[in-house]
Amino acid sequence: NAGVTQTPKFQVLKTGQSMTLQCAQDMNHEYMSWYRQDPGMGLRLIHYSVGAGITDQGEVPNGYNVSRSTTEDFPLRLLSAAPSQTSVYFCASRRATRTLYSENEQFFGPGTRLTVL
Amino acid sequence: DQQVKQNSPSLSVQEGRISILNCDYTNSMFDYFLWYKKYPAEGPTFLISISSIKDKNEDGRFTVFLNKSAKHLSLHIVPSQPGDSAVYFCAASGRKTSYDKVIFGPGTSLSVIP
């Protein structure tokens, strides 16, 4: 299993450009999410999905769009990049259902480092 | 408004001693808590978790304690090793919250000095 894969690893954009960060997982996980990591802010949830066709907003959704057409893929779109979106982006996946007796760990990809000039 | 807080941005500990990392949360709907470890240029990796029906969970050198009344949890690493030097994130989720989102704290950078 490759786990969670993200492409590209690095990206530089100019303000106003658009791009899509790719995320794929091969563990048949229902739940997928996108986080951004900024110094002193930790990991902040952008958007998440509990299954194909179902997405919802996290803590910092503005400026980002997502869609989930398959279980495996969960791309993150920046429609008009801004310098405030300079960050490291992590995609994660896990099983959707759990009880208080089961583990619920998320598996993270290696990250995409994005710079917006 | 941060729902998961880690008030110590950094911690330095001598090799062989105990490392204690603290985490506080504000949302009483959280019922599952996790710790993740992150090395530079890598994604976070799961370390240990605890559900609200327990007050302690151990896995080798790592123990997590949960105090629900104080909305506080801590991660103990004994003995600390240089390879434990990393950023540690506390995270929380709740089955009754919307779609069981996982919310992370800002992280604590641990340095274990040989």
DSSP chain A: ---EEEE-SEEEE-TT--EEEEEEESS--SEEEEEEEETTTEEEEEEEEEETTEEEE-SS-TTEEE--SSSSB--EEESS--GGG-EEEEEEEE-S---TTS----EE---EEEEE-
- Please say if the pLDDT value at position B98 is more than 60: no
Return the pLDDT at A39.
Answer: 82
Q: Please state the rounded mean pLDDT for residues A18-27.
A: 96
Cβ contact (<8 Å) for B101 and A111?
A: no
Q: For A14-19, what is the mean pLDDT?
A: 96
**Residue A98: per-residue pLDDT:** 62
Interface mutation target, options B99, B103, B108, B109, chain A, most CBs of A under 10 Å: B99
Average pLDDT over residues A50-76: 94
What is the CB-side half-sphere exposure of residue B69 using CA atoms within 13 A? 0
Q: Choose among B10, B35, B30: nearest CA to B85.
A: B10
Average pLDDT rounded to a whole number, residues B73-78: 98
pLDDT computed for residue A109 by the predictor: 96
Beta carbons of A112 and B42 less than 8 angstroms apart? no
Task: Give how far B105 is from chain A: nearest CA, Å.
Answer: 6
Share above pLDDT 90 across residues of chain B, in percent, rounded to a whole number: 79
Does residue B99 register a pLDDT over 70?
A: no
**Which pLDDT score, from 0 to 100, does residue A97 have?**
64
Question: Chain B partners of A48 at a C-beta cutoff of 8 Å?
Answer: 99, 101
Span A65-76, average pLDDT:
97
Does the pLDDT at position B2 exceed 70? yes
pLDDT of residue B69: 95
**pLDDT of amino acid A82:** 97
pLDDT of residue B33: 92
The reported pLDDT for the residue numbered A72 is 96
Residue of chain A minimizing CA distance to B87: A42
Distance to chain A for B7, nearest Cα, Å: 11
Q: Which of A11-20, A39-48, B43-52, B69-78 has the lowest mean pLDDT?
A: A39-48
